[in-house]
Amino acid sequence: MLKLNQELMLYYLFEYLQEAYNFTGAGVFQYISFRSAMAVITSLLVSMVFGGRIINLIRKKQIGEQVRALGLEGEEQKKGTPTMGGLIMLAAILIPTLLFTKLENIYIIIMIISTVWLGAIGFIDDYIKVYKKDKEGLAGRFKILGQVGLGIIVGLIMIFSSDIVVKEQMAEKQIFESHQTSLSEEFGFEKEAKKSAKTTIPFVKNNAFDYKVLTNWMGAMAPIASLLLFVLIVILIVTAVSNGANMTDGLDGLATGTSAIIGATIAVFAYVSGNIMAADYLNIMYIPNTGELVIFMASFVGACVGFLWYNSYPAQVFMGDTGSLSLGGIIAVAAILIRKELLIPILCGVFLIENLSVIMQVGYFKYTKKKYGEGKRIFKMAPLHHHFQKLGYHESKIVTRFWIVGIMLAILTIVTLKLR
């Protein structure tokens, strides 16, 4: 049954045709670049072709946005706009992933779990808002609990799975031999790789940092403590980035476009981390089999761009928490898997500043209210994009400028590969 199901997926189908019948052109499916391109095209088609039908279905079911009275420009026009459009994005991510990736790859398995997990939490939240007419949606503690649960799952899989290994440096002889054999990994490179708690520190020449260093002082308890610390770090990152994307989803196309920029950058890092020659040239950790993540992130980027067809100003559909929680979670988990989580403050700078603006606003208001009896605010409104709306900037101008900032941060993140 498993073999039959696999052959229904295009990668396995063409692999079978190549091996059994030497089918002309079937071998092209072995190339990550080709499958990534096909994943982008397919995700775009799914978003654009089926997106309109899903929006019409949502509209018929009267699943409209419940806009709060915040006194923002264009607020009334948004009322009743179909929401839960994140379903379009989830379909556009998962369908190409199932068609073009190696489904037994541990990294793909983790990404599928993460996408479905957070998509389900977001869907429940949107369902409560729409059908139960509760503007608050799913209680915050349950959202956090779901994000923590995903962090625990991802952290434990990374710790205990024998398929998740890294290789920090490559002997010159091994590199030469790998080049002579078309970079094939069947000559023992996985055997040289090992389990590691190391990650990448930006702007540092010897840029590998081992989380175990933080627990060495605990003596006999150090091994267990290091495992717990790693899981806690994964939980923190997943929760922070997922909520950051959720906070950013307040203007038409803002979270979608920003996520596409971040996703494309992660795809670059996944490619160089999974390519033995590129990893050695850039002096970064070689992580076997992360090349499949390039295809997943290609689907992710295609889904975001395709969703912009309907979500750009003026939006015909909103993604809701179904989409925003998933976007942030996917970005966080992918960055963790390729050991680039410490780059998130730079790469996801837009998400970070949106999160910080809310924390600063709430914290300062409570502090001044307690001290002076009257709460004061730093921004006219938080998150930050609403502050600029209050200043009189048009929504589309704010979104475009945030995208530009996102592109600059993405370029800076890529530059960290050589800037040390």
CA angle, 163 as apex, 161 and 164 as ends, to 5°? Answer: 75
Q: Where are the domains of the chain?
A: 1-30, 31-341
**Which pLDDT score is estimated for 198?**
82
pLDDT averaged over the chain?
84
Alpha-carbon distance 54 to 56, whole Å? Answer: 5
Please, which pLDDT band fits residue 26 given cuts at 50, 70 and 90? low
Please, which pLDDT band fits residue 296 given cuts at 50, 70 and 90? very high
Strand, helix or coil at 210? strand
Write the CB contacts of 117 (distance below 8 Å, at least 6 apart in sequence): 146, 149, 150, 153, 329
**Which pLDDT score is estimated for 76?**
66
The pLDDT tens digits of the residues spanning 225-234 come to 888 999 999 9
65 has pLDDT over 70: no
The pLDDT tens digits of the residues spanning 70-117 come to 656 666 677 778 888 899 999 999 999 999 999 899 999 999 999 999
172 or 361, higher pLDDT = 361
2 has pLDDT over 60: no
**Which pLDDT score is estimated for 4?**
40
191 has pLDDT over 60: no
CB atoms within 10 A of CB 139: 12
Please, which pLDDT band fits residue 339 given cuts at 50, 70 and 90? very high
Alpha-carbon distance 254 to 262, whole Å? Answer: 12
Alpha-carbon distance 33 to 294, whole Å? Answer: 8
265 has pLDDT over 80: yes
**Which pLDDT score is estimated for 136?**
74
Write the CB contacts of 251 (distance below 8 Å, at least 6 apart in sequence): 313, 385, 389, 395, 398, 399
**Which pLDDT score is estimated for 10?**
62
The amino acid at residue 372 is Y
Q: For 263-280, what is the mean pLDDT?
A: 93
- Among 133-142, 174-183, 236-245, the range with the most confident prediction by mean pLDDT is 236-245
Lowest mean pLDDT among 106-120, 176-190, 342-356: 176-190
**Which pLDDT score is estimated for 184?**
42
Confirm if 418 and 282 have CB atoms less than 8 A apart. yes
User: Which residues face 194 on adjacent strands?
Assistant: 166
Alpha-carbon distance 27 to 22, whole Å? Answer: 8
185 has pLDDT over 60: no
190 has pLDDT over 60: no
Confirm if 252 and 395 have CB atoms less than 8 A apart. yes
Exposure letters 107-136 (e unless 16+ CB within 10 A, then b): bbebbbebbebbbebbbbbbbbbbeeeeee
**Which pLDDT score is estimated for 302?**
96
Alpha-carbon distance 250 to 256, whole Å? Answer: 10
Short-list 261, 245, 258, CA closest to 321: 245
